[in-house]
């Protein structure tokens, strides 16, 4: 069957369910991650990429067609995927530039590129050796989001040494836990992995990082790794207090989390992108203006206060009137990111 995505056409074998068992993997929900990936690559002016887990080739082909990348190394361990990558390069009339195709375990690839996009099933941690294959930029997908959000908190501890429980702001917690993990993994090989962009979408997280050398850079990144304290009774979140000032009970310490800036670049929407991708781009452009490592999830505040949720527009208007910054967040339909303290939000709810 032929699928259209972005500016590409892709042939894949017929399938019934999206699963790892597909003869060649393709998930339409990942098109959001791929839209954003081509935009990040364009913004960073990247010229060559290693796509070590290519499946149908859709990702590398879209990089070629939609950014300035003219050199793509496609690889997949699955020999059927290799046949389809070749067919799809032809289908998209890709003849110029430098195209390499290999059928290896990704960890056996020796070449180094300016940019690598690691896109495995589940956790990418077993593939972090591939950080060595990039000279500058790294994009990475993790699909084990239930682990990072704390829904599978025992696995989070076992797999990542991450202490987490499910909170109303679970995806931001997940992404910040993942970024801290990646920074620490980079530090193990004495590299600074500096976050440039990150987002959550459906079943996956995507993180973009700049790889640099230098102890000062690594120390600076590590100094931005810390904890958030969370009250499971009233959902209060704090960067410093370990006892909830409202409930007087000990709060749960979540982390390690990266508490610094997640977004260093702003992206442009494209008219042919998925609507959902453009919405994420727009929301991140807005929320990145507010320097706060968590947001407020309005339904959980209403639940704690046993009140109804006031309209989001009204809350945002009121916060602006009071001189605070406030924006919506891409992490949740019901969340706001603001520099206002919790008691102000509570007052607005009560009034």
Single out the segment in contact with ligand SAM by CB under 6 A; choices: 72-80, 88-96, 173-181, 202-210: 72-80
* Eight-class DSSP state of 242: S
Task: Provide the 3-class DSSP secondary structure of residue 211.
Answer: strand
Pair of tokens at residue 104: 């290896």
Stretch of 49-57, 175-183, 195-203, 320-328 lying at the interface with ligand SAM (CB under 6 A) = 49-57
Examine residue 59 and tell whether it contacts ligand SAM (CB under 6 A): yes
Given a contact cutoff of 8 angstroms between Cβ atoms, the answer to whether 200 and 194 are in contact is no
Give least dist CB 142 to ligand SAM, A: 11
**Crossing angle for the helix pair 31-44 and 275-287, to the nearest 10 degrees:** 50
144 binds ligand SAM (CB under 6 A): no
Distance CA 228, CA 252 (A): 8
Name the nearest CA neighbour of 118 among 102, 133, 140, 135.
140
Q: Could you say which of 8, 12, 30, 256 contacts ligand SAM (CB under 6 A)?
A: 30
Would you count residue 77 as binding ligand SAM (CB under 6 A)? yes
Q: Does 120 bind ligand SAM (CB under 6 A)?
A: yes
Question: Pairing mode, if any, of strands 204-212 and 192-201?
Answer: antiparallel
- Which position among 46, 81, 178, 187 is part of the footprint of ligand SAM (CB under 6 A)? 81
Least distance from ligand SAM to the Cβ atom of residue 1, Å = 15
Q: Choose between 197 and 227: whose C-beta lies nearer to ligand SAM.
A: 197
Min separation Cβ 270 and ligand SAM, Å:
18
List 38, 41, 53, 187, residue binding ligand SAM (CB under 6 A): 53
Of 74-82, 158-166, 201-209, 284-292, which part binds ligand SAM (CB under 6 A)?
A: 74-82
CB of 122 to ligand SAM, least distance (A): 9
From candidates 26, 205, 258, 295, binder to ligand SAM by CB under 6 A: 26
The one among 18, 121, 291, 311 contacting ligand SAM by CB under 6 A: 121
Do you know the residue count of the chain? 351
Helix intervals (H) in the chain: 31-44, 58-66, 79-91, 145-148, 153-160, 170-188, 215-222, 275-287, 298-305, 312-321, 342-350
**Cα 15–chain centre separation:** 27
CA 229-235-239 angle, 5° bins: 25
Residue 129 to residue 148: CA distance in whole angstroms: 21
Residues that bind ligand SAM in the complex, under the rule CB under 6 A: 25-26, 30, 34, 52-56, 58-59, 75-78, 81, 105-106, 119-121
């Amino acid at each position: 069957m032929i699928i259209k995505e972005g500016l590409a056409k892709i042939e894949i074998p017929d399938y019934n369910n999206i699963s790892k068992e597909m003869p060649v993997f393709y998930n339409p929900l990942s098109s959001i991650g791929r839209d954003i990936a081509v935009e990040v690559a364009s913004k960073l002016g990247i010229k060559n990429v290693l796509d070590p887990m290519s499946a149908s080739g859709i990702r590398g082909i879209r990089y070629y067609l939609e950014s300035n990348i003219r050199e793509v190394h496609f690889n997949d361990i699955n020999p059927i995927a290799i046949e389809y990558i070749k067919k799809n390069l032809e289908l998209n009339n890709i003849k110029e530039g430098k195209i390499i195709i290999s059928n290896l375990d990704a960890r056996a690839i020796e070449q180094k590129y300016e940019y690598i996009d690691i896109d495995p099933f589940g956790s990418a941690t077993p593939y972090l050796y591939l950080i060595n294959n990039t000279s500058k930029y790294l994009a990475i997908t993790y699909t084990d989001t239930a682990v990072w959000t704390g829904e599978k908190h025992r696995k989070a501890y076992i797999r990542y040494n991450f202490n987490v429980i499910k909170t109303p702001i679970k995806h931001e917690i997940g992404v910040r836990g993942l970024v801290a993990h990646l920074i620490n993994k980079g530090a193990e090989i004495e590299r600074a992995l500096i976050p440039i962009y990150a987002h959550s979408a459906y079943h996956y997280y995507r993180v973009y990082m700049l790889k640099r050398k230098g102890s000062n850079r690594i120390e600076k990144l590590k100094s931005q790794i810390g904890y958030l304290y969370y009250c499971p009774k009233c959902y209060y979140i704090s960067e410093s207090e370990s006892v909830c000032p409202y409930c007087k009970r000990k709060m749960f310490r979540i982390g390690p989390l990266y508490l610094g800036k997640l977004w260093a670049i702003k992206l442009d929407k494209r008219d042919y992108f998925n609507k959902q991708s453009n919405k994420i781009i727009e929301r991140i452009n807005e929320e990145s203006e507010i320097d706060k490592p968590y947001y407020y999830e309005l339904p959980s505040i209403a639940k704690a206060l046993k009140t109804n949720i006031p309209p989001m527009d009204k809350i945002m208007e009121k916060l602006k009137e009071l001189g605070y910054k406030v924006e919506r967040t891409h992490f949740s339909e019901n969340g706001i990111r603001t520099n206002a303290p919790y008691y102000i939000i509570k007052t607005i709810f009560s009034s």
